[in-house]
């Protein structure tokens, strides 16, 4: 499985249930990576989408512990067991975990590729992603040139789990 995330220098990913910053090129990168694929997300992440609706042109699988939670246009699962059963229907390489922090932490052990947009800045945050630079089982296998959006410097990194 893949995951895709945007982090700052402290591996922060969000604050008050919102992204730290919106960079158009990062959004484009996200669309290019995930369109036509399967995305796995939590209910709170779904609520941050426009009108709280699933993303178009993707299979949306939402993990929610609320047994009554349901959303049109998405597959809703209520446990890790249910999620793992559902994911067996898809090619592992077509699955992208997209957040939030608790979903990332639960599914990181099942992921082999991490697409990370790394922002050279430190934001106020309350949600974090595990620091892959400090995890010896991950290595950077690809990186982009540094890019800028106004005064924000960032780069796209690809991490892969070591065999």
DSSP 3-30: EEEEE-TT-EEEETTEES---HHHHHHH
For 50-96, write each residue's pLDDT tens digit: 999 999 999 999 999 999 999 999 999 999 999 999 999 999 999 99
Per-residue pLDDT, 163: 85
In the three-class reduction of DSSP (H, G, I as helix; E, B as strand; rest coil), residue 95 is classed as: strand
Distance between CA atoms of residues 55 and 50, nearest Å: 9
**The pLDDT of residue 120:** 98
Count of other CB atoms within 10 angstroms of residue 106: 15
CA distance 83 to 30: 22
Task: Return the pLDDT at 40.
Answer: 98
**How would you write the pLDDT of the chain (163 residues) with one tens digit per residue?**
999 999 999 999 999 999 999 999 999 999 999 999 999 999 999 999 999 999 999 999 999 999 999 999 999 999 999 999 999 999 999 999 999 999 999 999 999 999 999 999 999 999 999 999 999 999 999 999 999 999 999 999 999 999 8
CATH of domain 1-9+34-116: 3.40.430.10
Alpha-helical segments (H) within 35-116: 43-47, 80-87, 101-107
The answer to whether 107 touches 42, Cβ cutoff 8 Å, is no
């Amino acid at each position: 499985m893949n995951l895709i995330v945007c982090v700052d220098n402290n591996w922060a990913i969000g604050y008050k249930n919102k992204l730290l910053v919106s960079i158009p090129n990062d959004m484009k990168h996200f669309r290019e990576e995930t369109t036509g694929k399967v995305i796995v997300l939590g209910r709170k992440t779904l609520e941050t989408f426009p009108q709280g609706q699933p993303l178009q042109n993707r299979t949306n699988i939402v993990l929610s512990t609320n047994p009554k939670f349901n959303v049109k246009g998405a597959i809703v699962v209520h446990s890790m067991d249910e999620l793992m059963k559902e994911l067996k229907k898809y090619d592992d390489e077509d699955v992208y975990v997209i957040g939030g922090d608790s979903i990332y932490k639960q599914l990181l052990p099942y992921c082999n590729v991490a697409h990370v947009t790394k922002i050279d800045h430190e934001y106020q945050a309350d949600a974090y992603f595990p620091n892959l630079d400090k995890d010896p089982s991950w290595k950077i296998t690809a990186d982009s040139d540094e890019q800028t959006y106004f005064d924000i410097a960032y780069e796209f990194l690809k991490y892969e789990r070591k065999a």
